[in-house]
């Protein structure tokens, strides 16, 4: 299985257009050793020819342009992107669908909650009916069904499993205030040819026993790297909200919970990689002490253009 990191940043990317924090300003001035990052999305392939997009970032145009694997090959109009799977309905994960409007009808895989949000609060799919249109593939993760196995046509060797994870519906969602099963999923992708598994979860609010079991079964983890600390945004004067309130488990442990670093250390995955990194996160600075901590535990920080072969 091949994995392309198209974008490794959280919403707003890095540096964020309106942000003058130490990291954003430092990156702009060239004072930090820190790469710019687009908003998160990855592409997965079994054969290196056909690709599935996991989330569709608002930066999709730039992301496709800078990855030759995703360029048209045969014929006048063509794309190797055969399907899109959505992990949630957040703006930074779905608005790239509009950027695919010039192409063929989009084969779209998502939960009932996400299809609902994208036809009500943020009616992207209604809009797309006037362009390429979308073919809906419902992932039955809702109510008491917390996981669903599925296949994607053209990717015969890949076995996908969608897993309900704790999280929130987007701010614009009609049911923002009452969490529902299916608002957020993680994905486990196994290549039947060699049994290798990827666990992908760019927005993970909490790692319970179930999540830890799924993570322990993976060869590669590509998980929520949004915040280093619970009160990172508050301490930098950027926001009043904590990581928990925003639906992201920080990498550091806090008084009340284990952090993502310790969670990853408890697993045996060969690759442990962070994605969806917010502009406020000190791990963006390659010279930071936080980056040394990650290195000491064999944890990688993904970057735009990173390629992983499992």
246 binds, among Zn ion, ligand HKS, none (CB under 5 to 8 A by kind): ligand HKS
Contact status, residue 254 vs residue 261, Cβ threshold 8 Å: no
Q: Does 27 bind ligand HKS (CB under 6 A)?
A: no
Q: Is 19 in the site for Zn ion (CB under 5 A)?
A: yes
Task: Work out whether 116 is an interface residue with ligand HKS (CB under 6 A).
Answer: no
Among 1, 3, 24, 273, binds Zn ion (CB under 5 A): 24
Nearer to ligand HKS, 21 or 253 (CB): 21
Contact 9, 34 (CB under 8 A): no
- In this chain, which of 11, 58, 247, 250 binds Zn ion, going by CB under 5 A? 11
Nearer to ligand HKS, 45 or 302 (CB): 302
Give the C-alpha separation, 180 to 75, whole Å.
Answer: 43
Phi, then psi, of 108 in degrees rounded to 5: -115, 125
Q: How far is the CB of 303 from Zn ion (least distance, A)?
A: 17
Query: Which entry of Zn ion, ligand HKS, none binds 170, CB below 5 to 8 A by partner kind?
Result: ligand HKS
Q: How many residues bind Zn ion (CB under 5 A)?
A: 7
Look at residues 298, 302, 306, 280 and name the one whose alpha carbon lies nearest to residue 19: 280
Name which of 171 and 287 has its Cβ closer to ligand HKS: 171
Interaction pattern, residues 156-185, with ligand HKS; x per rule: CB under 6 A: ------------x-xx--------------
Window of 66-74, 78-86, 96-104, 272-280 that interacts with ligand HKS by CB under 6 A: 272-280
CA distance 303 to 305: 6
Contact characters 226-255, ligand HKS, x per CB under 6 A:
------------xx------xx--------
Q: Is 304 in the site for ligand HKS (CB under 6 A)?
A: no
Residues 135-174 that bind Zn ion (CB under 5 A): none
Of residues 242-281, those binding Zn ion (CB under 5 A): 279
24 interface partner picked from ligand HKS, Zn ion, none, CB below 5 to 8 A per type: Zn ion
Three state DSSP letters for the chain: CEEEEEECECCCCECCCCCCCHHHHHHHHCCCCCCCECECEEEEECCCCCEEEECCCCCHHHHHHCCHHHCCCCCCCCCCEEEEECCCCCHHHHHHHHHHCCCCCEEEEECHHHHHHCCCCCCHHHHHCCCCCEEEEECCCECCECEEEECCCCCCCEEEEEEECCCCCCCCCCCCCCCCCCCCEEEEEEECCCCCEEEEECCCCCCCHHHHHHHHCCCEEEEECCCCCCCHHHHCCCCCCCCCCCCCCCCCCCCCCCCHHHHHHCCCCCEEEEECECCCCHHHCCCCHHHHHHHHCCEEECCCCCEEEC
Using CB under 6 A as the criterion, what x/- string covers residues 70-109 for binding ligand HKS?
A: --------------------x-x-----------------
80 binds, among Zn ion, ligand HKS, none (CB under 5 to 8 A by kind): none
Q: Which residues contact ligand HKS by CB under 6 A?
A: 10-12, 16, 90, 92, 168, 170-171, 238-239, 246-247, 278-280
Interface positions with Zn ion (CB under 5 A): 10-11, 19, 21, 24, 92, 279
């Amino acid at each position: 299985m091949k994995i392309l990191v198209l974008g490794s940043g959280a919403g707003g990317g890095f540096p964020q257009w309106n942000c003058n924090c130490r990291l954003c300003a430092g990156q702009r001035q060239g004072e930090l050793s820190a790469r710019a990052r687009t908003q998160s999305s990855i592409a997965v392939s079994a054969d290196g020819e056909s690709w599935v997009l996991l989330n569709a970032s608002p930066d999709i145009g730039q992301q496709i342009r800078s990855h030759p694997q995703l360029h048209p090959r045969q014929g006048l109009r063509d794309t190797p992107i055969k399907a899109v799977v959505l992990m949630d309905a957040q703006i930074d994960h779905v608005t790239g669908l509009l950027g695919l409007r010039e192409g063929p009808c989009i084969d779209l895989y998502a939960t009932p909650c996400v299809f609902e949000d994208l036809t009500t609060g943020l009616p992207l799919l209604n809009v797309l009916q006037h362009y390429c249109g979308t073919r809906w593939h419902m992932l039955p993760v809702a109510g008491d069904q917390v996981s669903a196995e599925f296949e994607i046509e053209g990717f015969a060797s890949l076995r996908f499993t969608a897993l309900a994870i704790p999280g929130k519906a987007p701010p614009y969602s009609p049911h923002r205030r009452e969490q529902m099963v299916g608002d957020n999923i993680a994905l486990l992708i196994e290549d039947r040819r060699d049994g290798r598994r990827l666990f992908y979860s760019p927005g993970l609010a909490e790692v319970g026993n179930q999540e830890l079991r799924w993570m322990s079964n993976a060869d590669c983890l590509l998980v929520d790297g949004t915040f280093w600390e619970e009160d990172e945004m508050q301490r930098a004067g950027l926001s009043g909200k904590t990581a928990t309130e925003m639906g992201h488990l920080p990498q550091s442990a806090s008084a009340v919970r284990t952090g993502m670093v310790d969670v990853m250390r408890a697993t045996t995955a060969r690759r442990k990689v962070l994605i969806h990194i917010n502009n406020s996160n000190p791990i963006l600075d390659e010279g930071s002490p936080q980056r040394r901590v990650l290195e000491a535990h064999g944890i990688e920080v993904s970057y735009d253009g990173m390629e992983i072969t499992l």
